[in-house]
A and B are shown apart, each in its own frame.
Chain A
Amino acid sequence: MSELDTIGFGLILIAAAVGGAAILTWFERRLLGVWQDRYGPNRLGPFGALQVMADMIKLLTKHDWVPPFADRAVFVFAPTAIVVAMLLGFAVVPFGPELYILDLNIGLLFFLGMTSLAVYSVLLAGLASNNKYALLGGLRSAAQMVSYEVFMGLSLMGVVMLTGSFSLRAIVEAQRDLWYCIPQFLGLFTFLIAGIAESHRLPFDLPEAEHELTAGFHTEYGGMKFAMFMLGEYLGLLLISCMITTLFFGGWLGPWLPPIVWFSIKVFALICFFILLRAAIPRPRYDQLMALGWKVMLPLTLLNLLLTGVIALLLEGA
């Protein structure tokens, strides 16, 4: 692609990602409704899809208030950080053989770095709000990051080992014969859980935990600043789905249909699965979350790494 094309594609991608995240707020509520034997928002427009517009108008016209006891600069900065970091993460995702913005040879590392940066947003919001609930949310977020970031990176090393590259395009190309979800099923399992924790989705939404912490880290936020957090969360969901598709389900690969359609179908299915998890599984207690991370997921990841290494070496020797 020429430079101009890339810029154009980037703009389209931003619009699609933000628009997709906005539609997701409605789609998630409808789908949760289906699984909880109710309807969800179905009044406004076809199937209630215009609910998104109503929510947006409401959030845009709300009083943009900064509490007097908050750390003003950080308070305003925090919500933008998560959106920017998540949008940057999309830069390395290959949507098709020629549809990508950046083909970094360390694309995977770039993605991991960007999702880690997003955690700062939650952390800073919790600190700057100067509110005990927000602080507790921020603390939980930090602890969750420390314990889940570790095996999030490690769980992908199996994929890297099999491919021999950090480039996401190379990883997709290497899945022509067999998607990595089969040889790397342990990696998929651990990355899935780490991904949910990373994007603060239920059942790992402990920083938010509206039953215990009112709204966790964004207790003091309202209007568009709150909307930015929600946007960031849904962008995170989209990004994680895109990454799982790329890393484990063959990205754009698939017969008959054009590559971008295959990619979209896979991402859509994964998003539905994430929403299903939200509908089905209750939130674990704080200590249970930590115990799961360190005592189960980390050893599993290391075991996966060991086995993958041994098998890769044996195959290379044979």
Chain B
Amino acid sequence: MLKSLTSQLRTIWTILQHSFTKAETVQYPEQMPYLAPRYRGRIVLTNDPDGQERCVACNLCAVACPVDCIALQQGVKEDGRWYPEFFRINFSRCIMCGMCEEACPTNAIQLTPDFEMCEYDRSNMVYEKEHLQIAGTGKYHDYNFYRVSGLAIAGKDKGQAQHEAPPIDVKSLLP
């Protein structure tokens, strides 16, 4: 009985000492918390260093997405590049897990440290390609998918990519 009473009194004393400790609260809109550069927030589509869109519409992000919030359709440009005819992310479903970013073979889809996406209308949370596409390269400044891949596009034929030897004609006997 006495033991529990002293325990209660000690609790009261401990709480009273908290009159002099600083509040832990971060007063959010006035006091922005630090977000690391790799914080997982709003998703963007990036361009390669030449200013062409990186996305090749391979659908791997849509497959990796655990909540199925990504929808896209592949198209082929006249120069041979693949591109998404439309690219749609439903951010009211998105859980910001970053699986799409990990799945992306061309570093096109990336997550940014922005999470302030407030809308009065839920349909405004559906972002189309023009909302997602940014002008910059995002986190990877030098990577250009078409310069390392074997796919032939206008201005870059087979064998002209980085670390790529010219193709061998296997039907020829000449050395």
Contacts and interface: CB of A to CB of B under 8 A. Distances in A.
Do A and B assemble together? Answer: yes
Interface of A: 33-39, 276-277, 279-281, 296
Contact of A281 (B8, B16, B24): B8
A38 B25 contact: yes
B23 A37 contact: yes
A34 to B, nearest CB: 6
A295 to B, nearest CB: 9
A285 to B, nearest CB: 13
A37 B25 CA distance: 8
A280 B11 CA distance: 6
Contact of A35 (B8, B16, B24, B25): B16
Contact of A39 (B19, B21, B25): B25
B24 A37 contact: yes
B16 A276 contact: yes
A35 B12 CA distance: 10
A277 B16 CA distance: 10
A38 B23 contact: yes
Contacts of B14: 280
Contacts of B27: 39
| Closest 8 pairs between A and B when the two form their complex, measured CB to CB | A280-B15, A280-B12, A280-B11, A38-B25, A35-B18, A37-B24, A39-B25, A35-B15
B77 interface: no
B23 A39 contact: yes
Contacts of B21: 37
B1 A296 contact: yes
Interface in B7-57: 8, 11-12, 14-16, 18-19, 21-25, 27
Contacts of A34: 18-19, 23
Interface residues of B, number: 15
Nearest to A31: B19
Contacts of B15: 35, 276, 279-280
B23 A281 contact: no
Interface in B72-101: none
Contacts of B18: 34-37
A301 B25 CA distance: 44
Nearest to B10: A280
Count chain A CB atoms within 10 A of each CB in B8, B14, B19, B23 and give the residue with the most. Answer: B23
A281 B11 contact: yes
A271 B82 CA distance: 72
A37 B19 CA distance: 8
Nearest to B20: A34
A39 B28 CA distance: 12
Count chain A CB atoms within 10 A of each CB in B8, B15, B18 and give the residue with the most. Answer: B15
Contacts of A276: 12, 15-16
Contact of B19 (A35, A38, A281): A35
Contacts of B8: 280-281
A37 B24 CA distance: 6
A140 to B, nearest CB: 21
5 contacts: A34-B19, A34-B23, A38-B23, A277-B12, A280-B15
A131 B21 CA distance: 43
Contacts of B25: 38-39
A13 B25 CA distance: 38
Interface in B99-122: none
A240 B84 CA distance: 72
A215 B11 CA distance: 26
A33 B11 contact: no
A294 B19 CA distance: 35
A38 B16 contact: no
Contacts of A281: 8, 11-12
A292 to B, nearest CB: 10
Nearest to A34: B19
A288 to B, nearest CB: 10
A35 B11 CA distance: 12
A39 B11 CA distance: 21
Nearest to B22: A37
Contacts of A296: 1
B28 to A, nearest CB: 11
A236 to B, nearest CB: 21
A39 B30 CA distance: 14
